[in-house]
């Protein structure tokens, strides 16, 4: 595996913030023994002093903050690490693991900073944050359709690296460019190719992984049980992902994208009702995501619902249009709104930017807007009736404009796998996945009266949706982790409240058994991590 990122030298965050630090000024109250341990177990004290930060360093706050992707956690009350370690190679990770264990610190692992509850960079206990921003190399092997990707790389960097070598291979993952590869695969991962190729984790073929004892393992040496667990069961519950080996998938040189909007006045309710039947069952080359908003009609005080249909087809418009004319003419897709682009450009489009945007933006972490929200997820297994859709629309119209529903159809390849093939269980029979979000835009924090009303509204939406979503368990997506589901882990009964929603019973019990074998002291723990009883 290459030791540097294609097209650039190894990125050192220390250079970005241009600082120098000595060991004499590195320690902060309470972290002195840990710092001494790191120093005494390192070969190059000068180098390591440039990769470790405590709150006494002027660079500590900027380094912690730069990858906090949900800005609701950017507040003084958010607990921060005792020490941030930004390794450039694996031995410092081993040293950090050893010293954290020895001196009673927990570890949090941050690859991209997109944890929905901020659990990769905050904790209520003393902890060391391993920030993988300096370990982001990507090695694309076109001839063998694989890529080795270090944990600190982002999806955008991966897509760009692939596109620099070929337009006929890609990786089936999400469309947010700043999501870190390390944590993303650990939850399963889905995107616009899910109906064609399944989840991201379905396409992981090997790994470089550090266990609780500092041993570096691959698929063969760790065994199939652990390899199964880390692909969808929350890899950070079991150890530290250093790099993933990914199987790349075939895509055409040009794909077709389209975006169109329908309001209630355009018949959006009836169109969406049919969408539930068509989108999960249509040709696997077609994926149609929807976003649902409430908005005012022009300059009036009356609200309507707008549904944005965003399509991507693995082929040309000449093949797409007859397909839609046959299966979904009500949608009204015309040649004028169809655009043929490279696959990498489609990622830019689905992030809300023009297709003409230079694809280098996918590698520019600071150019991608951060989130400021609270989210929940659901899965739909039976089409929601018109009456139910109208109730949901009325609920959205009650909202103050902070709400969004993002809906992806399932079916196709993702449903071909058994729900126990990997821990990610949301497979056959799932029609739609719903991401429900409220933002805190215009609010100084998520605890203002307005913000609290928005959170209460989101929870009440959850109640309203109960008759229309999956049951026993009510499924949820572990990458959209939601601490509202519960955090109890003293026994199986407590943990099953949230664990069975993410992974279902058989998978959750298997994850617990594997956890007990590989991390029996439960060192790798956080809220909603796989427990040890």
Distance, in Å, from the CA atom of 135 to the CA atom of 398, rounded to the nearest integer, reads: 46
What residues have CB less than 8 Å from 405, skipping those under 6 apart?
290, 291, 292, 293, 392, 396, 434, 435, 436, 437
Pair of tokens at residue 25: 């000024």
- C-beta neighbour count of 130 within 10 angstroms: 28
Burial 40-61 (b: 16+ CB within 10 A, else e): ebbeeeeebbbbbbbeebebbe
| Cβ-contact 530, 511 below 8 angstroms | yes
Distance, in Å, from the CA atom of 333 to the CA atom of 310, rounded to the nearest integer, reads: 11
| DSSP calls for 188-250 | ----TTHHHH--SGGGEEEEEEE-TTS-EE-HHHH-HHHHHHHTTS-GGGT-EEEEEEEE-EE
Pair of tokens at residue 172: 């089936």
Q: Catalogue the active-site residues.
A: 480
Pair of tokens at residue 367: 């150019």
Distance, in Å, from the CA atom of 298 to the CA atom of 250, rounded to the nearest integer, reads: 44
Distance, in Å, from the CA atom of 139 to the CA atom of 148, rounded to the nearest integer, reads: 5
| DSSP calls for 44-81 | -HHHHHTTEE-TTSTTHHHHHHHT--BGGG-STTS---
Give SS3 for 414. helix
| Cβ-contact 489, 531 below 8 angstroms | yes
Distance, in Å, from the CA atom of 158 to the CA atom of 115, rounded to the nearest integer, reads: 19
- C-beta neighbour count of 260 within 10 angstroms: 15
Strand ranges in 302-459 using DSSP code E only, listed in sequence order: 303-313, 338-341, 373-380, 403-409, 432-439
Pair of tokens at residue 134: 């300096």
**Rg (the chain; Cα; Å):** 23
Apex 207 CA angle, 205 and 210, nearest 5? 160
């Amino acid at each position: 595996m290459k030791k540097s990122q294609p097209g650039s030298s190894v990125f050192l965050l220390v250079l970005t913030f241009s600082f120098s630090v000595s060991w004499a000024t590195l320690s902060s109250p309470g972290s002195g023994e840990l710092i001494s341990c790191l120093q005494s177990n390192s070969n190059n004290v000068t180098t390591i002093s440039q990769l470790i930060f405590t709150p006494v360093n002027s660079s500590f706050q900027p380094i912690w903050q730069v990858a906090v992707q949900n800005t609701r956690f950017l507040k003084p009350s958010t607990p921060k690490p005792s020490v941030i370690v930004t390794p450039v190679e694996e031995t410092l990770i081993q040293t950090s693991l050893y010293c954290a264990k020895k001196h009673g610190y927990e570890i949090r692992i941050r690859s991209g900073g997109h944890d929905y509850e901020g659990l990769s960079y905050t904790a209520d206990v003393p902890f060391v944050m391993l920030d993988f921003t300096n370990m982001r190399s990507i090695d694309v092997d076109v001839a063998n359709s694989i890529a080795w990707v270090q944990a600190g790389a982002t999806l955008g960097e991966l897509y760009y690296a692939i596109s620099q070598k070929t337009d006929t291979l890609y990786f089936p993952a999400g469309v947010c460019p700043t999501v870190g590869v390390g944590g993303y695969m650990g939850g399963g991962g889905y995107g616009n190719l899910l109906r064609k190729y399944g989840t991201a984790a379905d396409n992981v073929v090997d790994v470089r992984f550090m266990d609780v004892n500092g041993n570096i393992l691959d698929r063969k040496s760790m065994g199939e049980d652990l390899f199964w667990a880390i692909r969808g069961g929350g890899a950070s519950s079991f150890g530290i992902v250093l790099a993933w080996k990914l199987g790349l998938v075939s895509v055409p040189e040009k794909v077709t994208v389209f975006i169109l909007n329908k309001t209630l006045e355009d018949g959006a309710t009836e169109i969406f009702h049919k969408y539930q039947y068509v989108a999960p069952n249509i040709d696997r080359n077609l994926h149609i995501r929807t976003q649902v908003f409430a908005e005012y009609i022009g300059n009036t005080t009356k609200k309507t619902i707008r549904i944005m249909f965003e399509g991507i087809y693995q082929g040309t418009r000449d093949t797409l249009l007859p397909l839609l004319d046959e299966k979904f003419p009500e949608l009204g897709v015309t040649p004028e709104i169809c655009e043929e682009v490279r696959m990498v450009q489609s990622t830019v489009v689905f992030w809300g930017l023009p297709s003409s945007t230079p694809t280098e933006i996918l590698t520019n972490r600071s150019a991608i807007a951060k989130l400021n929200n609270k989210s929940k997820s659901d899965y739909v297994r039976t089409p929601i009736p018109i009456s139910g859709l109208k109730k949901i629309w009325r609920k959205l119209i009650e909202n103050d404009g902070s709400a969004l529903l993002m809906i992806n159809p399932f079916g196709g390849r993702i449903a071909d796998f058994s729900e126990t093939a990997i821990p990610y269980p949301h497979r056959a029979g799932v029609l739609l996945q719903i991401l429900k979000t409220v933002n805190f835009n215009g609010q100084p924090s998520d605890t203002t009266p307005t913000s609290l009303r928005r959170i209460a509204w989101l929870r009440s939406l959850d109640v309203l949706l109960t008759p229309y979503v999956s049951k026993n368990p009510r499924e949820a997506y572990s990458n959209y982790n939601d601490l509202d589901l519960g955090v109890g882990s003293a026994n199986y009964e407590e943990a099953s409240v949230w664990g069975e929603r993410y992974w279902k019973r058989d998978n959750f019990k298997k994850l617990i058994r594997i956890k007990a074998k590989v991390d029996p002291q439960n060192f790798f723990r956080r809220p909603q991590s796989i427990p040890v009883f």
